[in-house]
């Protein structure tokens, strides 16, 4: 269960799958809450939703036209106009006041309720309506079309029957879902709540963007890219700032971060780092430091802080190099967050592509190479975005996929088929 690493040998490295498994088994879908539909897209519905109403709520007209009795117009055609007395106009949103007796008709607008005894609507185009353009009060209308019962009538409950199970628990809310909920009159729905993700960086060298650069310092890019990644997943980022490489600073920042569903830190998890970062993190729980058999993003920390207490909170410690932190986020944080959000498909789509250039694999790890995938007539083509060093963040800028070179292969050559994890949403 616990994997210690004693050196650089592959046997001591944890496979990507094993690391993922060990992380993911510590996460469960969060509890449900009642949430406004307007802000719910992407969330998972936490209840079976039944409709309190029928939709349509009443039989109504599918066209602007005349509500008639079909048996009154059986003889009607373009050459044989049947005249009916017009008794009222029914607008959408108002109710008919008169039934359609033989020889009568009501002007009716799309969406307006069908009057009693009418069983068809004849569209304006099939009547003498245009003869009356500008007439306020039409007394009689010529019908030029026969219609079978039900023509141009939208039946009550045709879309949704009252009490029908419309949306099942586990459904991921789309704009259409929000529309259906609204159509049933629901302003709120029970969803799995959004996880709060604390994000912190560690390192004496780090400055926040906006601060003035000084020698030896760099800007903290990891926090920004991780906050953005968390937002894109629909979770709530809580940026707690930069911890210095000293015990008190790390302690302070961690204390601020404890009030969340997951803490994501970056840097301070590789060998040769200031041990105090590890030490402080370990004060709060059993943090494990792993070497994952992947490139980039080999070093990774994982543990549950305050384990066995009510305020237990998992921590994923990402590597410091900017590309490593994003690639490790993809592999480990994204599925953990998705799982908390109640999602069951935690995988990104993987496609097969023909590699245009090559991928090196010199030490038996699984390589995730940053590639641009394009669709051609013969299928997908993947091309690396250039320098694959883990500090070259701009190589991530162009990438829409991560092409995999497996652990047991020395590399991939031009023309080889590669699996590519698509990372663009
Ligand atoms: P470390 O894991 O602390 O040894 O960091 C590895 C590399 O990542 C170093 O070059 C750090 O300067 C860099 N690094 C660490 N944290 C960040 C960050 N938040 N933003 C950008 N680069 C970072
Ligand atoms: Mg550091």
**Is residue 221 one of the residues assigned to a domain?**
yes
Residues 6+ apart with CB under 8 A from 57: 156
Report which protein residue has its CA nearest ligand 1's atom 23.
320
CB 109 within 8 A of CB 183: no
Beta bridge partners of 99: none
Query: Which residue's C-alpha comes closest to atom 10 of ligand 1?
Result: 321
The number of the ligand nearest the C-alpha atom of 204 reads 2
**Domain for residue 210, yes or no?**
yes
Cα–ligand 2 centroid distance for 194 (angstroms): 30
Domain shared by 84 and 117, yes or no: yes
pLDDT at 273 (0 to 100)? 66
Q: Give the mutation target among 204, 213, 218 for probing the ligand 1 site: most ligand atoms within 8 A of CB.
A: 218
Picking from 165, 161, 166, the residue whose alpha carbon sits closest to that of residue 180 is 166
Q: Are residues 186 and 209 in the same domain?
A: no
Q: Would residue 228 count as lying in a domain?
A: yes
Mean pLDDT of 260-278: 82
Candidate from 207, 320, 390 with most ligand 1 atoms within 8 A of CB, to mutate: 320
How does DSSP classify residue 283?
Answer: H
pLDDT of 27-62, one tens digit each? 999 999 999 999 999 999 999 999 999 999 999 999
Q: pLDDT tens-digit profile of 207-249?
A: 999 999 999 999 999 999 999 999 999 999 999 999 998 889 9
47: domain CATH number is 3.90.105.10
Buried b (16+ CB within 10 A) or exposed e, 104-115: bbbbbbbbbbbb
**Same domain, yes or no: 143 and 70:** yes
Beta strands at 120-123 and 65-68: parallel, antiparallel or unpaired: antiparallel
**CATH number of the domain where residue 16 is located:** 3.40.980.10
The reply to whether 143 falls in a domain is yes
Could you write out the DSSP letters of every residue in 132-192? GTT-SS--EEEE-----TTTTEEPTTSSB-TT-EEE-TTPBP-HHHHHHHHHTT-SEEEEE
Q: 125, 154, 183: which is the final residue of a domain?
A: 154
Cα 130 to averaged position of ligand 2 atoms, centre (Å): 79
Pocket residue to mutate for ligand 1, from 249, 321, 324, 390, most atoms within 8 A of Cβ: 321
Structure tokens at 18: 């094993």
Residue nearest to atom 17 of ligand 1 (CA): 320
Residues 181 and 306 in one domain: no
- 45 and 187 share one domain: yes
Q: Which residues contact 382 (CB under 8 A, 6 or more apart)?
A: 353, 354, 355, 356, 371, 372, 373, 401, 403, 418, 420
Exposed, middle or buried, 321 (CB in 10 Å: 0-12/13-18/19+)?
buried
Q: How far is the CA of 320 from the centre of ligand 2 (A)?
A: 7
Model confidence pLDDT, tens digit, residues 322-337 = 999 999 999 999 999 9
- Ligand 1 pocket, residue 123 CB under 6 Å: no
**What's 394's DSSP letter?**
H
| 229 shares a domain with 206 | yes
Residue-level pLDDT at 280: 77
Q: What is the pLDDT of residue 8?
A: 47
Please give the number of the atom of ligand 1 that sits closest to the Cα of 223.
19
Same domain, 89 and 135: yes
Q: Which of 350, 351, 321, 319 is nearest to 333 (CA)?
A: 319
Distance 211 CA to ligand 1 centre (A): 17
d(CA 103, CA 90): 18
**Alpha-carbon distance 118 to 203, whole Å?**
77
- Beta 153-154 vs 60-61: how paired, if at all? antiparallel
Ligand 1 pocket residue status of 305, Cβ below 6 Å: no
Rounded average pLDDT over 136-147: 96
Q: What six digits make up the tokens of 100?
A: 């359609």
pTM (2 d.p.) = 0.92
State the first-to-last Cα distance of the chain, in angstroms, to the nearest integer. Answer: 34
Q: How many domains does the chain have?
A: 4
Same domain, 308 and 205: yes
Ligand 1 centroid distance, CA of 241 (Å): 14
E strand or H helix at 349, and its extent?
none
Pair 30, 43: CB distance under 8 Å: no
| Whether residue 203 has its Cβ less than 6 Å from ligand 1 | yes
Query: Which of 350, 358, 392, 363 has the alpha carbon at shortest distance from 293?
Result: 363
d(CA 381, CA 103): 69
Is 7 a residue whose pLDDT tops 60?
no
Strands (E), 22-68: 32-36, 49-50, 60-61, 65-68
The string of pLDDT tens digits covering residues 73-82 is 999 999 999 9
Quote the strand ranges of 270-397, DSSP E. 288-291, 294-295, 299-305, 313-318, 350-355, 359-360, 366-376, 379-384
Q: Is residue 160 part of a domain?
A: no
User: Which of 225, 265, 406, 391 lies closest to 324 in space, CA to CA?
Assistant: 391
Out of 340, 370, 388, pick the residue that ends a domain. Answer: 340
- Is pLDDT of 381 > 80? yes
Q: Tell me the C-alpha distance between 390 and 388, whole Å.
A: 6
Q: Which domain holds residue 399?
A: 350-422
- The residues near 244 (Cβ < 8 Å, ≥ 6 apart) are 202, 203, 204, 250
Query: Residue 179 is encoded by which pair of tokens?
Result: 């529309």
Assess whether the C-beta atom of 200 lies below 6 angstroms from ligand 1: no
Same domain (yes/no): 252, 319: yes
Tell me what the mean pLDDT of segment 391-397 comes to.
Answer: 95
Q: What is the CATH number of the domain that holds 415?
A: 2.40.340.10
Q: Are strands 366-376 and 379-384 parallel, antiparallel or unpaired?
A: antiparallel
In a domain, 285, yes or no: yes
Expressed in angstroms and rounded, the spacing between residue 56 Cα and the centre of ligand 2 is 62
The encoded tokens of residue 249 equal: 């600073």
What's the chain's average pLDDT? 94
**CA diameter of the chain:** 96
Distance 313 CA to ligand 2 centre (A): 23
In a shared domain, residues 42 and 86? no
Last residue within a domain, chosen from 320, 340, 360:
340
Does 205 sit in the ligand 1 pocket, CB within 6 Å?
A: yes
**Within a domain: 388:** yes
Q: Does 379 map to a domain?
A: yes
42 and 187 share one domain: yes
Whether 291 and 216 map to the same domain: the answer is yes
Among the bound ligands, name the one nearest to the CA of residue 301: 1
Q: Which residue is associated with the tokens 């004060």?
A: 283
pLDDT of residue 134: 86
Burial, 273: exposed, middle or buried (Cβ in 10 Å; 0-12, 13-18, 19+)? Answer: middle
Return d(Cα 417, Cα 415) in angstroms, integer. Answer: 7
Residue 4, CA atoms < 13 Å, CB-side half-sphere: 2
- Distant-in-sequence, close-in-space partners of 54: CB < 8 Å, separation ≥ 6: 156, 157, 160, 161, 162
Determine whether the shortest distance from the Cβ of 317 to ligand 1 is under 6 A: no
Task: Kindly report the CATH number assigned to the domain that includes residue 104.
Answer: 2.170.190.11
């Amino acid at each position: 269960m616990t994997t210690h690493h004693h050196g650089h040998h592959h046997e001591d490295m944890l496979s990507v799958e094993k690391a993922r498994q060990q992380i993911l088994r510590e996460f469960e879908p969060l509890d449900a809450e009642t949430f406004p539909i307007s802000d719910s897209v992407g969330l998972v519905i936490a209840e079976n939703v039944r409709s309190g109403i029928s939709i349509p709520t009443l039989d109504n007209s599918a066209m602007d036209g005349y509500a008639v009795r079909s048996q009154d117009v059986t003889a009607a055609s373009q050459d044989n106009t049947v005249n009916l007395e017009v008794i009222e106009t029914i607008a959408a949103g108002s109710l008919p006041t008169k039934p359609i007796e033989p020889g009568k008709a009501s002007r009716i607008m799309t969406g307006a309720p069908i009057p009693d005894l009418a069983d068809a609507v004849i569209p304006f185009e099939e009547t003498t309506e245009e003869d009356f353009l500008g007439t306020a009060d039409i007394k009689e209308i010529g019908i030029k079309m026969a219609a079978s019962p039900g023509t141009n009538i939208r039946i009550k409950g045709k879309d949704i029957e009252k009490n029908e199970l419309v949306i099942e628990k586990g459904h991921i809310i789309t704009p259409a879902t929000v529309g259906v909920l609204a159509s049933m009159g629901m302003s709120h729905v029970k969803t799995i709540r959004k996880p709060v993700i604390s994000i912190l960086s560690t390192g004496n060298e780090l400055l926040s963007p906006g601060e003035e650069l000084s020698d030896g310092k760099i800007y903290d890019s990891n926090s920004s890219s991780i906050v953005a990644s968390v937002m894109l997943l629909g979770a709530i980022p809580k940026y707690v700032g930069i911890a210095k490489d000293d015990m008190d600073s790390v302690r302070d920042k961690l204390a601020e971060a404890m009030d969340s569903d997951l803490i994501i830190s970056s840097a301070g998890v590789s060998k040769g780092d200031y041990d105090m970062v590890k030490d402080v993190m370990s004060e709060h729980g059993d943090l494990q430091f792993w070497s994952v058999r992947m490139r980039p993003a080999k070093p990774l920390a994982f543990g549950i802080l305050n384990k066995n207490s009510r305020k237990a909170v998992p921590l994923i410690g990402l590597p410091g190099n900017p590309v490593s932190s994003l690639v490790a986020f993809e592999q480990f944080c994204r599925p953990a967050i998705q799982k908390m959000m109640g999602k069951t498909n935690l995988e990104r789509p993987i496609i097969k592509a023909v590699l245009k250039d090559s991928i090196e694999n010199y030490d038996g790890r699984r390589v995730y190479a940053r590639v641009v995938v394009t669709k051609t007539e013969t299928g997908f083509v993947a091309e690396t975005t250039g320098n694959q060093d883990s500090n070259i963040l701009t190589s991530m800028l162009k990438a829409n996929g991560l092409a995999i070179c497996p652990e047991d292969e020395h590399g991939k050559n031009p023309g080889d088929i590669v699996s590519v994890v698509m990372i663009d949403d």
